Structure 1
Amino acid sequence: MAITRSRYRTATSAGTFVAFLLVLIFGSPAYVDWARSADRGIFLETLAWPAWSFDSDASVRDLLGADLKAILLVAFTALFISLLAGAQLASARGTLSAILTGWAAYMFAAALAAFVTSFLLPHGSLGQATVNAAAGAGYALIVGWIIGLATMAGRRP
């Protein structure tokens, strides 16, 4: 019996790869500085939300919180897409269902990543963590359709 590998990308790997690219490109210090330098519009400014940097002038706590938020966003995206894509019913495996699954997974991932990393910041509290989680969910509400399209293109279990 020969073992064959699928040449198709799964929904989880496609969505995670696109989330990684979004965080890597649009969270970079160069893009964040460009987006914040002038009025670029809500979409281009929102793309800069999970900003990461290796700034030596920032405190270690701030640096760790920002970088960990970007890493956790990608990791939680993989987790939630695999959980949600596997839970789809056979009758709900359409295009719209796949887009909404990826979009929702990205919203959950962004909110959870922002919530968890809020406690690393100075004066971290439950209230501030909730506000940051809402900001993460707002980011994913505007940008998450891109992840939804990527999961639509992938093969679902």
Structure 2
Amino acid sequence: MALTHRPRTVRGYGTAAGTGTLAALILVGVCGSPWYASWAEAHTDPNSAGGWYLRLLAWPAWRVESADPAHGVLATDLRAILLLVFAAALLYLLPAGQVARVPGSASQFFSGWAAYTLAGAAATLLAALFTSGGSLLAAFETTGTGAGYGFFAGWIIGLASLGGRA
């Protein structure tokens, strides 16, 4: 059997990393939007588990326009941009290519979940270093928030990665 032959590859399915990246793009695009964030703030109870979770999904908030023209839109959206870049990179770099050979395996789920958790932590760390005046302590303190977001929202990316091909 040649090394390039991939058994059980089904046409029509995307790659595990590709479907995970698309899910991350949709999750950040919809739940990080200003419209969703304002809805979650106004219509959810932060003292209930459901309200807390719906507010957490709005964590990688992005804006259409910047409140501070000196920094521009890119500076305010850096966390969401870095989250998507790191999520895509980690979904491709983690062993998704190896675990995607068995469609529907638990390894694909955990690989996608882990990639999104790491992406949330790394994006928060770098965004905090670039936007908070470079304070290392502030960057370390906010990194836990990004890792927590990735942990609680990463199962969505893990589910999207299920069944993809290598």
TM-score (ref. length: structure 1): 0.84
Say whether the 8 Å CA contact 2:112–2:158 is kept in structure 1: yes
| Aligned AA (2:75) | G
| Cα 1:8/1:93, change in 2 over 3 Å | closer
Gaps of 5+ in 1: none
CA distance in 2, matches of 1:51, 1:80: 21
Q: Which residue of 2 aligns with 1:54?
A: 64
Q: Which residue of 1 aligns with 2:119?
A: 109
Runs of 4+ in structure 1 deviating by more than 6 angstroms, as ranges, are none
Match of 2:36 among 27, 31, 39: 31
1:86 aligns with 2:91: no
In the TM superposition, what is the alpha-carbon distance from 1:45 to its structure 2 partner? 0.6
TM-score (ref. length: structure 2): 0.80
Gaps of 5+ in 2: 1-9
Q: Which residue of 2 aligns with 1:146?
A: 156
CA distance in 1, matches of 2:76, 2:57: 15
In the TM superposition, what is the alpha-carbon distance from 1:60 to its structure 2 partner? 4.0
When the two structures are aligned, how many residues end up with a matched partner? 151
Q: Which residue of 1 aligns with 2:108?
A: 98
Q: Which residue of 2 aligns with 1:64?
A: 74
CA distance in 2, matches of 1:136, 1:37: 23
Q: Which residue of 1 aligns with 2:6?
A: none
CA distance in 2, matches of 1:87, 1:128: 37
CA distance in 2, matches of 1:49, 1:16: 18
Q: Which residue of 2 aligns with 1:136?
A: 146
Match of 2:23 among 4, 18, 30: 18
Say whether the 8 Å CA contact 2:103–2:162 is kept in structure 1: no
Say what the alpha-carbon RMSD is for the aligned residues: 2.4
Going by fraction, where is helix more abundant, 1 or 2? 1
